[in-house]
Structure 1
Amino acid sequence: MPSSPVSIATFDCLPEEWRNAVVAIGNFDGMHRGHQAVLAAAQAEAEHLGAPCILLTFEPHPRSFFAPDKPLFRLTEPVMRASVASALGLNGVVVAHFDAAFAETSAEDFVRRFLIEKLQLRHAVTGYDFHFGHRRQGTPEFLQRQGILSSFGVTVVDKHGDEEGAVSSSRIRAALEEGRVEEARQLLGWTWSVAAKVVHGDRRGRDLGFPTANMVLPTSCDLRQGIYAVRYTRRDGRVHDGVASFGRRPTFDDGAPKLETFLFDFEGDLYGEMGLVSLVDWIRAEERFDSIEALVAQMNEDAATARRILANHPLADFDRRIAADWPRIEGEAEALGLA
């Protein structure tokens, strides 16, 4: 199998060594334990065949394309999907651009044009509920019939669940919307993280003794507003502990939601950099304070709480691999216009 590190690509720049692969197909928003069951089946088949194992996903999410007036809280943008895939040991991620022309592609043409002609796949792996093609006419059963006709194998993976039911992206969204970070981590199998560019703020945090890396997240992000213990990964790969506030700053302007991260024991300029913020635990809800002194006292307490939480939650090996791969993949995706 190829020994080169996993990358992210589109059909316009498909690496030659990714052809004749085992291809896991799906939206994979979340790369959660249910998705990982699909990817594990793909990796097992790839090892059996001595073939590369790649993931085929779509951007934007089809739900966002078909219902733009109903914003979808995305769990993983393409870079995070590829970073998790890399940590899992896959060889690559292909991002298909989901536009009007793609939406009109019939199920038969999807198989012929993308799976057979472009990828020249040897085996397809998908979940039990994956549909594709115009009007979702492509079902897992349809894909299996196409595999018989075109001489490629197909594996359909059944649902993966726990005592509460199937592991799903909607369950994880609901957990994050309520600040249940540990529950989200258990369903994901990794610490939920979000990447964004550090932008200039009003420098109020610096004046208060808490300079922060400020990020504007997508308006569709329904993460519960409040204070979190976090880890922050820079583009140079260094990981820093910190405390973050996601919210509207009710003591001051009650403005648009913003993610503001204070890095412990750090001095430097982060403006203009992409950063990755991993939410380790929830601390408290956002609140309004009657004085700056009361706010600063609470910020000091939050920082101390975050330090204790992080000391008791060492960086897990899987999270370490994700953080190690993210900077390189972020750079590749930026060059492709995917970040």
Structure 2
Amino acid sequence: MNEHPPSRFVAIDALDAFPAGLRGGVVAIGNFDGVHRGHRRVLETALSHAQDAGVPAYALTFEPHPRSVFQPDTPVFRLTPPAQKARILAAMGLDGIVSVPFTRAFAGIEAEAFVTDILQARLGIVHAVTGYDFHFGRARRGTPEFLSQAGVVDGFGVTIVAAETDESATAVSSSRIRAALAEGDIALANALLGYRWSVEAEVRHGEKRGRDLGYPTANLALAPETQLAHGIYAVRVLLDGRWIDGVASFGRRPTFDNGAPLLEVFLFDFSGDLYGKTLRVTLASYLRPELRFDSADALVSQMDRDSAEARAALASLTPLGSLDSTLNGLPGEAASG
């Protein structure tokens, strides 16, 4: 895997801020929510073309997710918010990410103008890479075939990447990953991603019940649209540059208050003040669904069993690939990323 030092990676959120250093490069275009195995095929293809030509490679994406603009009452469960997406692309070796503000006005741009005004005039691309299902411009007139024909006419290369399928010959997609997470099928979600999925949030004050039970937890509020199955998970947590194993509960705490969903993380063999800290929590495996217990003692007994099961699961954890090793601090590197 070609990895650049972090200082070389640039992340910008407006076309007006496009750096001269990326001009004349190879652009991978798409939403890339999840940066899953299919997205990575697009991005790796762009990297390969850029390396052959000796030019930069970067991603052109859109924020917020277009579906959240057209269906604001049903916001999309984001697998990789912007900062997380940029971190993954940097780990892959890309030179940058350009996040274009997506509005209804932007969606109304004619497909021809997207090519001439953005890809050529603003970015000065030499090659574009997209997935087989990428569309752009008003009424989605900008099909992969349209882009390929524009490249022939205007003198830039175009590569359209076919669907990436899993072992069951089913296309890898962000919607499949969201559905797997909602069902608690962390193994499937992580397999489709090619690395273990994580969330990131700041530790907030809670009811401090865990401390009274002998399990002090770090409380993290996830985005309201997060559709993660309620239950218990074995996790790895990045705190101040250090990875710590733990067990986490996501849910409404039915034994106590049945409140708003909250991620509560217990770090093994750790003591210290976590309030105000930002934690990255990587989900390694799903242990069981959330349950209601008749007493605090019964809950603590189950938490003891959960902790033992989480420790065992984490002790045998191996990277799913080189990207998983890089992102999640796992020793060693699998044969393929």
Same fold per superposition (TM over 0.5): yes
CA deviation after TM superposition for structure 1 residue 178, in Å: 1.0
2:224 to 212, 216, 219: 219
Alignment of 1:1-339 (within 5 A): 4-10=7-13, 11-162=15-166, 163-234=168-239, 236-314=240-318, 317-323=322-328
Is the Cα–Cα contact under 8 Å of residues 196 and 274 in structure 1 kept in the other structure? yes
Is the Cα–Cα contact under 8 Å of residues 86 and 322 in structure 1 kept in the other structure? no
Is the Cα–Cα contact under 8 Å of residues 242 and 306 in structure 1 kept in the other structure? yes
Distance between the aligned counterparts of 2:48 and 2:19, measured in 1?
Answer: 22
Is the Cα–Cα contact under 8 Å of residues 194 and 324 in structure 2 kept in the other structure? no
CA deviation after TM superposition for structure 1 residue 33, in Å: 0.7
Q: What percentage of aligned pairs have identical amino acids?
A: 54
Deviates further, 109-118 or 32-41: 109-118
Q: Secondary structure at the match of 2:176?
A: helix
Is the Cα–Cα contact under 8 Å of residues 57 and 95 in structure 1 kept in the other structure? yes
Superposed CA deviations along residues 20-77 of structure 1, whole A, max 9, x for unmatched, are 1100000111111111111121111111111111011111110111011223222111
CA deviation after TM superposition for structure 1 residue 8, in Å: 1.9
Q: 1:12 to 1:268 in 2, by over 3 A?
A: farther
Normalising by structure 1, we get a TM-score of 0.91
Deviates further, 96-105 or 304-313: 96-105
CA deviation after TM superposition for structure 1 residue 138, in Å: 0.8
Is the Cα–Cα contact under 8 Å of residues 144 and 160 in structure 2 kept in the other structure? yes
Distance between the aligned counterparts of 2:16 and 2:313, measured in 1?
Answer: 45
Distance between the aligned counterparts of 1:270 and 1:112, measured in 2?
Answer: 50
Q: Secondary structure at the match of 1:205?
A: helix
- Could you tell me which amino acid in structure 1 is paired with residue 176 of structure 2? R
Distance between the aligned counterparts of 2:199 and 2:16, measured in 1?
Answer: 27
CA deviation after TM superposition for structure 1 residue 164, in Å: 4.0
CA deviation after TM superposition for structure 1 residue 130, in Å: 0.1
Q: Please identify runs of 4+ aligned residues in structure 1 that moved more than 6 A.
A: none
Distance between the aligned counterparts of 2:69 and 2:218, measured in 1?
Answer: 31
**Relative CO higher for 1 or 2, CA cutoff 8 Å, sep ≥ 6?**
1
2:334 aligns with: none
1:332 aligns with: none
- Could you tell me which amino acid in structure 1 is paired with residue 191 of structure 2? Q
Root-mean-square deviation (Å)? 1.7
- Could you tell me which amino acid in structure 2 is paired with residue 248 of structure 1? R
- Could you tell me which amino acid in structure 2 is paired with residue 309 of structure 1? A
CA deviation after TM superposition for structure 1 residue 315, in Å: 5.2
Is the Cα–Cα contact under 8 Å of residues 233 and 284 in structure 2 kept in the other structure? yes
Superposed CA deviations along residues 170-200 of structure 1, whole A, max 9, x for unmatched, are 1111111111111111111000111122211
CA deviation after TM superposition for structure 1 residue 323, in Å: 4.4
Q: Secondary structure at the match of 1:265?
A: coil
Is the Cα–Cα contact under 8 Å of residues 237 and 323 in structure 1 kept in the other structure? no
